[in-house]
């Protein structure tokens, strides 16, 4: 009976080892995919200085104003921002 219990625990331990090994090796496999998708995913959010909406950088309306890059949710906000700056 005790031998069975030990074997059972050993089996669980081995399964745990295998499981943790798979979990550890996964990020290495996806390392290159991560680099690929990181920029195209557009998960980095930028704040619109006019309406304070957070927009994914890939979908934001980018405009360079006095050497700095500004991101807006739409052209309307960018025009508004420029108009306010000039006043």
Q: Which of 46, 48, 60, 71 binds Zn ion (CB under 5 A)?
A: 48
**Binders of Zn ion in range 68-87 (CB under 5 A):** 73, 77
Angle at Cα 22 formed by Cα 4 and Cα 43, nearest 5°? 145
Please choose, out of 7-15, 16-24, 32-40, 42-50, the segment that lies near Zn ion by the rule CB under 5 A: 42-50
Nearest distance, CB of residue 87 and Zn ion, angstroms = 18
Q: Is 63 helix (H, G, I), strand (E, B) or coil?
A: strand
Nearest distance, CB of residue 78 and Zn ion, angstroms = 8
Q: Report DSSP letters for 11-62, one per residue.
A: HHHHHHHHHHHHHHHHHHHTHHHHHHHHHHH---EEE-TTT--EEETTTSEE
Q: Which of 51, 57, 79, 82 binds Zn ion (CB under 5 A)?
A: 51
Binding residues vs Zn ion (CB under 5 A): 48, 50-51, 53, 73, 77
């Amino acid at each position: 009976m005790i031998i069975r219990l030990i074997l059972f625990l050993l089996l669980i331990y081995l399964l745990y080892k295998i499981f943790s090994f798979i979990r550890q090796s996964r990020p290495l496999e996806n390392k290159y995919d991560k680099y690929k998708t990181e920029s195209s995913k557009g998960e980095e959010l930028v704040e619109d200085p006019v309406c304070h909406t957070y927009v994914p950088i890939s979908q934001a309306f980018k405009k360079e104003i006095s050497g700095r890059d500004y991101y807006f949710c739409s052209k309307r906000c960018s025009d508004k921002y420029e108009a306010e700056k000039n006043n």
